[in-house]
Amino acid sequence: MSAAAWGLIGILVGSLIAITGNLLMHRLERSERGERARAEASARAREERKLAYMRLLTVARRLRYLSRPKASRDADVIEALKTELSSIRYEIELIAPLEIANRANKVRRATLDYFNKAEKTPTGSVEPFDQSPALKELRRTARTAVHEFIESARDELHLAPGMPGPLLRSARRR
């Protein structure tokens, strides 16, 4: 074969290698961009869930505090908190795993049960407000629902699994 033929073969092989290399590099870059975009979306979704979980716990706590006998009860504030509690629960149902959504519903239901019972318990009754067995049981149920929710949320968010916070440690001692 002549030098020209070998030159042409070299050009064709070189071109084929260059084209294959470019295609491979393009595919790898696109794959990396996709992975990076998925990781960023996952981090944003995780942060969104975390914020929703914190809002649920905050509103539930505010309603439990309003259950105390000397708490000032503004009907508009109470209704707004009850609505917010349900709205957050719906949000969690949309963005969180089923187990977390179920636990969020338990927090909402137990908090509302406790609040409604406390609201109907007369502060001047024979039995002191805080000593009512029914109210104590509802308060314990509400706190247990919160603790279970926190444990599940910590696991789901991968926040120091197996390391209970102060709330969980105090609940386990009781």
- The confidence score (pLDDT) of residue 126 equals 43
Locate the domains of the chain by residue range: 47-173
Look at the block and give the residue holding tokens 């309603």.
63
CA–CA distance, 27 with 29 (Å, rounded to integer): 6
- Specify the amino acid at residue 71: A
Write out the chain's pLDDT in tens, 174 residues: 788 888 888 888 888 888 888 888 888 888 888 888 889 999 999 999 999 999 999 999 999 999 887 777 788 999 999 999 999 999 999 999 999 999 999 999 999 999 999 888 765 444 455 567 888 899 999 999 999 999 999 999 988 756 555 555 554 444
pLDDT in the model for residue 173 = 46
Query: Which residue type is seen at 117?
Result: K
